[in-house]
Amino acid sequence: MKILHVMAQLPARTGSGVYYRNMIEEFKAYGHTQKALFAMQPGYGWEILGEEDSYPVHFQTEELPFPIAGMSDVMPYEHTVYSEMTDTMLDQWKAAFREKLEEIKKEYEPDLIFAHHLWILTSMVREIFPDTKVIGICHNTDLRQARMNPSIKENHVLDLDRLDFVYAASEEQKKEIEEVYSIPLEKQVAVGGGFNQNIFYPPSKKEYSKKIRLAYCAKIDPSKGIYELVEAYRELGLEDTSLDIIGVPQEEENRKRITKAIEGDDSIRLYNVKNQVALGDELRTKDIFLMPSYYEGLGLMAIESLACGLYVVTTEIEALMSLLGDGIKDSGVIEYVPLPRIYDVDKPYDEDLPLFKERLKEAILRQVEKVRRQEAFPEEVAKEIKTHSWQGLVGKMNDFIESL
């Protein structure tokens, strides 16, 4: 089968970028011909497919004199915010991607297109390839953009109900996709998310140190609950713990705020890792992973951390809870913290934060106690987590497309 993978973002550094790369890598095992369309800008490379199979759209050029447009308003690389794009910028953006899509149509004629994000580019794919099977892939940030920018959705995101199928992260997300884009439930398949089993795996032998090592890895942004996490951690005042914050704040406001938040506490470190491989190596040196986010499509980092043998504390993310099920929840390897009331998708009400922080502290303490007792990570849970690897996920995807 001739497959085309399409995404309007950098194929790296974000959840959807990693998803895109891993899909292509794992599909190689099934012998399909694959080509890829994606965004690129100076400072980044691409090595998953050869040059002859790659169709990059280059930003920060004469043709596109601005950075890649990010599906999130906060991105881990230089980017343009969709809501701040002028009509001229949108016209340039669409013209550049249309040119590449028309080129691919002449040179390749794919049998199937995987179009990432239910947004502008997927709409263009449906228009330009009316007779080709197109499966849209929802990453949740597309739903957020549609709610935040209804004028862009109404003017530039058309006919998504004409997609052949949509891969959703969860059963819960399917209902939202139907509501936002009028895509019937019978056209949607809940596939969850996958982790790279070659990167995220447990250490051969768990090594304990004098300090119980807590870790956070996500954007340094209020929507991720990072500032409430730091406050909760500092209020606990545990002498036998450390907190590593893995990530680099992109905005000046966040740089100043996180620096001030951790100031004076030598047990907290802020640093970054260069890639996913380094992140896997880093996680294997930790004990507990913390994800206090107010909004996640799936919460894949929690699954990756479980795959590395860490205990996890996270907010009640419906898709994650549904995917992992009660068995893993009841095992105690993961603690779910009730969310505060939320407005504008990912903003908590201030009056709810004191209770949220108390619950967060209680959950952290429960996991810390397990590490103090050096409780072994349950083998049956480790086996269950492996079923959510990319190998397992793409195997299910391949079975589905072969049945079409």
Give residue 180's pLDDT.
Answer: 97
Give residue 328's pLDDT.
Answer: 95
Q: Which residue has the higher pLDDT, 133 or 140?
A: 133
Residues 178-185 have a mean pLDDT of 97
**Where exactly are the structural domains of the chain?**
2-194+389-402, 212-386
Q: Which fold has domain 2-194+389-402?
A: Rossmann fold (3.40.50)
Q: What's the pLDDT tens digit per position in 231-273?
A: 999 999 999 999 999 998 878 999 999 999 999 999 999 999 9
Give the pTM.
Answer: 0.77
- How does the average pLDDT of the chain come out, rounded? 95
243/205 Cα distance (integer angstroms): 22
Given a contact cutoff of 8 angstroms between Cβ atoms, the answer to whether 7 and 142 are in contact is: no
Residues 102-111 have a mean pLDDT of 97
pLDDT at 155 over 90: yes
Give residue 274's pLDDT.
Answer: 87
**Domain 212-386: which CATH number of 3.40.50.2000, 3.40.50.720, 3.30.70.1230, 3.40.50.1100:** 3.40.50.2000
Work out the percent of the chain whose per-residue pLDDT is above 70: 100
pLDDT at 297 over 80: no
**Fold match flag (2-194+389-402 vs 212-386):** yes
pLDDT at 282 over 90: yes
374/287 Cα distance (integer angstroms): 10
Q: What's the pLDDT tens digit per position in 14-27?
A: 889 988 999 999 99
Give the CA angle between residues 143, 148, 151 to the nearest 5°.
Answer: 100
Give residue 343's pLDDT.
Answer: 94
Instruction: Select from 150, 142, 171, 123 the least CA-distant residue to 15.
Output: 142
pLDDT at 387 over 90: no
For the ranges 35-44, 194-203, 317-326, the maximum mean pLDDT occurs at 35-44
